[in-house]
Amino acid sequence: MLTFILWLLLFVFCWPIALAALILYPIFWLVLLPFRLLGIAVEGVFEFLRALLMLPARVLGGKPAAR
């Protein structure tokens, strides 16, 4: 809601920039989408490696690792 109110203020004070932002936002979102997916994949790999390294301790009855 705050974002919408800020956009309305921008529209009142400088409508060309507000319209440009409204049109360009979906384009930037599409351009940045592969980087978000890559970040999710890298995070998954790190979580897998962490689980793999902690497996011996879990099998031997160690305490679960705190996040």
What is the CB-side half-sphere exposure of residue 29 using CA atoms within 13 A? 6
Residue 39 lies in a domain: yes
The total of structural domains in the chain comes to: 1
Q: What is the pLDDT of residues 13-67, one digit of tens each?
A: 998 999 998 999 999 999 999 999 999 999 999 999 999 998 888 888 866 666 6
Residue 66 lies in a domain: no
Residue 67 lies in a domain: no
The token pair that represents 33 in the structure block: 């989408």
Residue 29 lies in a domain: yes
Residue 65 lies in a domain: no
Residue 24 lies in a domain: yes
SS3 content of the chain, % helix, strand, coil (to 5): 85, 0, 15
pTM of the model: 0.57
Q: For tokens 């160690």, what's the residue?
A: 62
Q: Which domain, by its residues, includes 53?
A: 2-59
